[in-house]
Amino acid sequence: MNFLPHTCQIHLNQLGYSPDLAKVFTSDAAGRFEVVNSVSGETVYSGSTSPLHPDHSSGMPVARGDFSAVRSPGSYIIRLTDAGVQSPVFPIDGRPYQAIKNALLKSFYYQRCGVELESAYAGPWSHKACHLSDAYVHGKPEERYSQTGGWHDAGDYGKYTVAAAKAVADVMLAYEWFPSALREPVGIPDPEIRMPDVLAEVRFELLFLLKMQRKDGAVYHKVTTAEFPALDCMPESDTADLIFSPISHTSTAAFAAVMAMAARIYRDMDASMAENYGRAAKSAWKWLTENHSGAGFKNPSDIKTGEYGDDCRLDEEYWAAAELYRWTREPQYLAAAQELAGSEAFSLCELGWADTGGYGTLCLLSMEAGDLPAPLRSQLLNAWAAEADSCVGRSAADGFGVALLPDEYIWGSNMLVMNRAMLLITASRLTGRTPFASAALDQWHYLLGRNTLGYCYVTGFGAKPVMNPHHRPSAGDGIPEPVPGMVAGGPNSSIQDEAAASLLRGQPPAACFIDHKDSYSTNEMTIYWNSPAVFVAAFADLS
């Protein structure tokens, strides 16, 4: 029988599997399959898929094939013998996710602002230093301050406090939970103080965030130009005036949370800076306690860059109180966290840039049981486990094993997938329930190819990688390959850009993705879509 070259009819993790992992592929065809060693041509396993079942998100019938019995290291393909199609080549290896884990982390280096990216570290994606001028405070052009450093937020060159807070929190949590997976170098310049690359890279962003705080403790919401530059504009060519947008409660509270977190995590290797982080966190909290009123952030009328608006600040304040309590053990912060946890004003389990309650909950649950009142710990653990149960149910019901309902393919759906994987991983450790860990890995397999369109949603990896992200350096540098290690936003059924609207109208939710540089609503990258993927990759690397 003649087998067709790789199509999207067999969907699996294109980076492969470690020997002990469950190994499941999905297909829009059912029947007999065989696993073949791609080097020797030997058939090492034969089986049958499940019958086809309708999958509402993808709009196609889907069958599953289980080849978990194949454990020997090697290079393989899967053939559907009745349909005459085959998968891409994939490995079974002891550490199949080591390289992508390191690339996901190094992607933050490629987002660095204010410094030259040298070819010794950046390879062909090097560029000159950018955005070196001071920024002025909106409405006060005579008041200017340094804003150099930090990470560009996404495919644009803005720097946004609430987005940065999620990103640094995820990466610090990854190091805290899986230090052995994140101690190896990834190829960034040596910091002034010797520490693992992961913490050196986060430190680069933390030092910038300190510049976002006013003397009274409040924190500017963002620093950007008034409008986005052209898509092919390299960072050093973006020379328009930089502007500190007004302060916000959400940016101040998120800042307080990550600074308290950093004070705890860095105190043994960067003590002087850890003290600075701690002082900044307490100053921000003091401002919050003295300034209760204020609407959610809205862009000034003359600022057209990303808004990151959020009308609820209580979840950020809960997170800040939790982190300040874990760092200081001062009862005032516990009292604030406990009161906010009981308010029912926000979700206790979300890990987004706007919905941050999950970070506060995870912070408190990571403490020793005796450090929390028993009723509070029980409330939080029950909420976390219940949300994990819901994720397991969504994952089991989906044809591709992803914990998304049809209406959850939103802008940045891949962030939602990785956030839920984070929740499942932590729930597994907190409860000892292994089904949570298995479902977390299903989300990882989805990101790396076991999805409706058969994409590996990380640039530079897989048999069918994203090649044309909405990312200004990748669009403007003249290099055919995009900057590696970036997570694309993923399917978005709201179809919120012209490129997507022209090609995706009428497609099922899970197919609403286009690998096009103009599709910012499906194919942009952001630091806070990469950051939960770093956490999940660290877990997968040890699985």
**Sheet containing 53-55: order of strands:** 10-11, 24-27, 60-66, 53-55
| Contacts with 130 (C-beta within 8 Å, 6 or more apart), sequence order | 113, 114, 157, 234, 235, 236, 238
Which positions are annotated as active-site residues? 470, 515, 524
Determine the Cα–Cα distance for residues 33 and 428; give it in Å rounded to an integer: 33
Q: Does 66 share its domain with 201? A: no
pLDDT (0 to 100) of residue 8: 52
- Judge whether 417 and 404 are in contact, CB under 8 Å: yes
**Residue carrying structure tokens 């486990």:** 385
Which of 92, 115, 131 marks a domain boundary? 92
Q: Which of 537, 521, 526 is nearest to 107 (CA)?
A: 526
Q: Does 320 share its domain with 384? A: yes
Report the C-alpha dihedral over residues 14, 17, 23, 26, rounded to 10 degrees. Answer: 0
Using DSSP bridges, classify how beta strands 32-37 and 74-80 pair: parallel, antiparallel or unpaired: antiparallel
Whether 149 is in a domain gets the answer yes
Determine the Cα–Cα distance for residues 477 and 127; give it in Å rounded to an integer: 9
Cβ-based neighbour number of residue 108 at 10 Å:
25
Whether 470 is in a domain gets the answer no
Does pLDDT of 6 surpass 80? no
- Judge whether 520 and 158 are in contact, CB under 8 Å: no
Q: What are phi and psi of 28, to 5 degrees?
A: -95, 15
Q: Which of 428, 463, 494 is nearest to 38 (CA)?
A: 463
Per cent of the chain over pLDDT 70 is: 99
Q: Does 78 share its domain with 170? A: no
Q: Average pLDDT, stretch 84-113? A: 97
Whether 517 is in a domain gets the answer no
- Structural domain including 49 reads 10-92
pLDDT (0 to 100) of residue 191: 78
Q: Does 126 share its domain with 69? A: no
Using DSSP bridges, classify how beta strands 243-244 and 135-137 pair: parallel, antiparallel or unpaired: parallel
- In this prediction the pTM is 0.97
Q: Locate 494 and state its tokens.
A: 């709201």
Q: Does 60 share its domain with 195? A: no
Whether 460 is in a domain gets the answer no
Q: Does 200 share its domain with 324? A: yes
Whether 304 is in a domain gets the answer yes
Determine the Cα–Cα distance for residues 248 and 222; give it in Å rounded to an integer: 9
Determine the Cα–Cα distance for residues 226 and 235; give it in Å rounded to an integer: 15
SS3 state at 471: coil
Q: Average pLDDT, stretch 113-134? A: 97
| pLDDT tens digit sequence for 429-475 | 999 999 999 999 999 999 999 999 999 999 999 999 999 999 999 99
Mean of pLDDT over the chain: 96
Q: Does 14 share its domain with 109? A: no
Determine the Cα–Cα distance for residues 111 and 473; give it in Å rounded to an integer: 9
Confidence of residue 4 (pLDDT cuts 50, 70, 90): very low
Report the C-alpha dihedral over residues 243, 246, 250, 254, rounded to 10 degrees. Answer: 50
Q: Does 33 share its domain with 141? A: no
Overall domain count for the chain? 2
SS3 state at 280: helix
Instruction: Tell me the C-alpha to C-alpha distance, in Å, between residue 271 and each of 169, 191, 275, 277, 283.
Output: 19, 15, 6, 10, 18
Whether 438 is in a domain gets the answer yes
Which of 67, 92, 117 marks a domain boundary? 92
Q: Does 39 share its domain with 186? A: no
Q: Which of 440, 451, 417 is nearest to 543 (CA)?
A: 440
Of the listed ranges 191-200, 228-237, 524-533, the least confidently predicted one is 191-200
Secondary element (H or E) of residue 520: helix 520-523
Whether 278 is in a domain gets the answer yes
Secondary element (H or E) of residue 142: strand 140-145
Q: Locate 421 and state its tokens.
A: 């994987």
CATH number of domain containing 110: 1.50.10.10
| Cα dihedral 420, 425, 428, 430 sign | negative
Of the listed ranges 292-306, 344-358, 467-481, the least confidently predicted one is 292-306
Determine the Cα–Cα distance for residues 370 and 389; give it in Å rounded to an integer: 26
| pLDDT tens digit sequence for 310-321 | 999 999 999 999
Q: Which of 377, 274, 363, 281 is nearest to 322 (CA)?
A: 363
Whether 130 is in a domain gets the answer yes
Q: Does 117 share its domain with 183? A: yes
CATH number of domain containing 23: 2.60.40.10
Q: Does 196 share its domain with 233? A: yes
Which of 66, 92, 118 marks a domain boundary? 92
Q: Does 112 share its domain with 241? A: yes
Q: Locate 379 and state its tokens.
A: 């409330």
